[in-house]
Amino acid sequence: MTDTSVARRRISRDVAATLVVFAANGAVAGTWFSRIPAVRDQLHADLRTLGFVLLCFAIGSMLSMPFAGRLIQRFSARPVCLVGTIGGGLFMSMLPLQRPTVAFAAVLLLTGACYGIWNVTMNVHGAGVEAQFGRAVMPAFHGAGSGGIILGTAGGALLAAAGVGLGLHFWIVVPLLTGTVVVATAFWTKGDAAGAGTTPVETASTVERDAGPMQPRTGPRRGRRSSTLTMPVLLIGLLAFCCAMAQGATSDWLAIHAHDDKGFTEALAAAVLTTYAVAEMIGRFTGGRVIDRIGRVWTVRICGLLAAVGVAVTIILPGAAVYLGAALWGLGLSVVLPLTVTAASDVGGAEAPRTVATVWTMAWSAFLIGAPAMGLLAHRISLGSALWVIVGLALAVSLLARSLAPRGESGEQSIGETRTATPGAGS
């Protein structure tokens, strides 16, 4: 077996392992989301208190994410991912034992901090794997995360219906998912401190391309670190912020819009949100081929416009057209955030872990403020009118698409230009 064949097999195993880590990360989140009613009952909390407690998870993630990049540069991706995963699993398993609200909130804050480290690390490593693989697989990684959320919430709903308590649920599922990540990361290829590969496995030819995965130029770095808050990084972060804010508002308000403004029953309104989520997952699993063909920039331009049309259809048209709008909405937003990770890694070079952490922190902050901001605006005008803000955010995504162009390139790849793939590597 040639060295090239061995390298291809190693990278293919790494891609599969990274998909598993993303899926497990989503399943942990879905498990948590599915048992929030049980948390409320355990704490005997009113809605205001519960809201404060739930915010602690997001705050913990926000606080830890900026530091994850530095940790990856110093220790490499796998040990940092394991610390975040195992630590998060231990703290999450302690939650059913916390009866006082303050104690529960403190443990949840630590759970969120570990989850944030895990989240950044798998994205940094995923960008490095994508660079070596030679195909756009970051959207599929995020698709695996979306699938994990669906499985986690569905499993939680079934266990709750069967009368399984919060403690038993967490003590069975969380160690299982943690162990899955420990095994999967054993197949991660060991990179340098930057956590990303330097070159793809051998390619058949050199081609012009605007789309990632480009190869981050990583390697040991001496002396003072340069700031990652450069204009290219901030523009990518702004694009990620716009997309994440649109997604955050969607998850909380789309079903309510279908119920209150369109007159759907609760079941049919929930189905509208499900349509959005399924379309988003499908877009992530299939979007890599589109990106490989037309590039990052054109993909995001088209996706932003598609999302804007989908939101407009959902607002304007009556009846079953809302489902069509939700599907276009989900497809349009599906690959944007994964591509910001790829672009942040590309721009970062040797500082890729820090640039990815910066962009992902900006996106996470938007998830936090998207839903409440939409609620405040809807209170002043109406929810249907407030949703036009998401149309604006989608158009902003399209306008900012050029910020995702690789270093030193214009980002104006012509539609129809193909990208030569790594031999033997499948998407």
pLDDT, tens digit, 9 for 90 and up, residues 368-380: 777 778 878 888 8
Alpha-carbon gap, residue 397 to 402, rounded angstroms = 10
Alpha-carbon gap, residue 304 to 16, rounded angstroms = 29
Alpha-carbon gap, residue 83 to 75, rounded angstroms = 11
pLDDT, tens digit, 9 for 90 and up, residues 410-421: 444 433 333 333
- At 251, is the pLDDT very low, low, confident or very high (cuts 50, 70, 90)? confident
Cβ within 8 Å of residue 313, ≥6 positions away: 321, 322, 324, 325, 328
Average pLDDT score over residue span 348-367: 89
- At 194, is the pLDDT very low, low, confident or very high (cuts 50, 70, 90)? very low
**In terms of Cα–Cα distance, which of 249, 278, 281 is closest to 367?**
249
Name residue 200's amino acid: P
Instruction: Indicate whether 426 pLDDT > 60.
Output: no
Predicted TM-score (pTM) above 0.75: yes
Share of the chain above pLDDT 90, in %: 57
**Strand residue runs (E) in 134-283:** none
**In terms of Cα–Cα distance, which of 287, 293, 390 is closest to 339?**
287
Residue 26 Cα to chain centre, angstroms: 9
pLDDT, tens digit, 9 for 90 and up, residues 83-138: 999 999 999 999 999 999 999 999 999 999 999 999 999 999 999 999 988 899 99
pLDDT, tens digit, 9 for 90 and up, residues 128-168: 999 988 899 999 999 999 999 999 988 998 998 899 999 99
Cβ within 8 Å of residue 136, ≥6 positions away: 130, 211, 212, 213, 287, 288, 289, 291, 292, 342, 427
- At 407, is the pLDDT very low, low, confident or very high (cuts 50, 70, 90)? low
pLDDT at 1: 56
388 contacts 252 by C-beta, under 8 angstroms: no
Q: Which domains does the chain have, with CATH numbers?
A: 3-185 (1.20.1250.20), 231-404 (1.20.1250.20)
